[in-house]
Amino acid sequence: MKRTFILIIGMLAVVALLFMNASKPIAGYGVGDYAKDFKLPNVDGKMISMADYPNAKGFIVVFTCNTCPYAKAYESRIIDLDKKYADKGFPVIAINPNDVSQQPGDSMDEMKKRANNKGYTFPYVRDDSQEVTKAFGATKTPHVYILNKEASDKYKVEFIGAIDDSPNDPTDVSETYVEDAINAILNGNKPKVTQKRAIGCTIKWKS
């Protein structure tokens, strides 16, 4: 009886810790805010910042990872977004925010392997301190922020959330939120949809 009680208490403690990690409140950018630039290590060994793209009109900043099933399901679509919009001035910058002690599969070495195997055409950087992730307010992988570059150091948030309306099967997509938002910006308009709840795995925060 005593052993059973101890096991139950232990299980409840684990659940409580998981809940605390999953529900950690994050304050971040809203639509209309200006995002600060960052400098994070890329899989090629270089440091990446938005200032490195003087000719960019904006950015598709995607918080993603190696290990989340949703991130894997969206991976080909993220690659396609960069191929479609980088030449139009909106390149992808992918940021892996997960705590490696909880997700060893999201280490820089594993990121390098995945970027190489999948043929990433965009930077895939690590936010080891998680400060950039907190500044943006990202909570899921994937979680997208479309930034419109208004000046050399002014990056206005125009859209936050999901890439589209089909987190699992790309053949079921009927609403392309990110593409619609970028197309609107390129045409000199504001996106009709500025926020859609991101569907994905909870970011693994450092304790």
Which phi and psi angles does 72 have, rounded to 5°? -65, -40
pLDDT per position in the chain (207 positions), as tens? 444 444 444 444 433 444 444 444 457 999 999 999 999 999 999 999 999 999 999 999 999 999 999 999 999 999 999 999 999 999 999 999 999 999 999 999 999 999 999 999 999 999 999 999 999 999 999 999 999 999 888 999 999 999 999 999 999 999 999 999 999 999 999 999 999 999 999 999 998
The Cβ-side half-sphere exposure at 31, using a 13 Å CA radius, reads: 13
Which phi and psi angles does 145 have, rounded to 5°? -130, 120
> How far from each other are the two terminal CA atoms of the chain, in whole angstroms?
33
So what's the pLDDT on residue 183?
Answer: 98
So what's the pLDDT on residue 177?
Answer: 98
So what's the pLDDT on residue 152?
Answer: 87
So what's the pLDDT on residue 13?
Answer: 42
Parallel/antiparallel/unpaired status of strands 143-151 and 58-63: antiparallel
Query: Residue 56 has which token pair?
Result: 């960019």
**Collapsed DSSP state (helix, strand, coil) of residue 50:** helix
Which phi and psi angles does 126 have, rounded to 5°? -110, 140
So what's the pLDDT on residue 27?
Answer: 78
In whole angstroms, what separates CA 107 from the centre of its chain? 16
Which of 54, 27, 49 shows the shortest CA–CA distance to 36?
49
So what's the pLDDT on residue 24?
Answer: 46
